[in-house]
Amino acid sequence: MADEIPAATPSAVVTPPPSASEMANGNPLPYYQTAPFIVSMAFTPLVYITVCAVLFTESFSQDLKTLVVTSVLNLIAGAIMGFFLGAAFSQQASKRRTDPEVTIHESTKP
């Protein structure tokens, strides 16, 4: 009796992620289950910890504080713009593949 595995309770049951065909049929994941959101949330505290440690500690010079602030702001801005620019380009590319009316060069239309 001690070796028996207890039955799974409804709260312990994990639903599998949707397959690629389900996602292609218009059943996308919620934003909080996507990889970019999870990775962003995992690394965001590291950024805050580093910036706070450098800015609010007297042992660092003013030049280093300026360097850290500008580096973090540039990295965050670059990552955000890169993600959304890539998403926009991939969305336009998929629209061009599926819609015969959309062409690459709009100026060549009569």
Query: In the prediction, which pLDDT does 85 show?
Result: 83
- All structural domains of the chain with their residue ranges: 28-99
Instruction: Kindly tell me the burial class for residue 40, based on how many C-beta atoms sit within 10 Å of its own C-beta (0-12, 13-18, 19 or more).
Output: middle
DSSP letters for 68-79: HHHHHHHHHHHH
Query: In the prediction, which pLDDT does 76 show?
Result: 83
Q: Which long-range CB contacts under 8 A does 21-27 form with residues at least 24 apart?
A: none
Question: Are 47 and 55 spatial neighbours (Cβ–Cβ below 8 Å)?
Answer: no
- Per-residue tens of pLDDT for the chain, all 110 residues: 556 666 655 555 566 666 665 666 666 778 888 888 888 889 888 888 888 988 898 999 999 999 988 998 898 888 888 888 887 777 777 766 666 565 555 555 55
Query: In the prediction, which pLDDT does 13 show?
Result: 59
Query: In the prediction, which pLDDT does 50 show?
Result: 84
Query: In the prediction, which pLDDT does 62 show?
Result: 93
Query: In the prediction, which pLDDT does 66 show?
Result: 92
Nearest to 55 by CA among 67, 43, 41, 39: 67
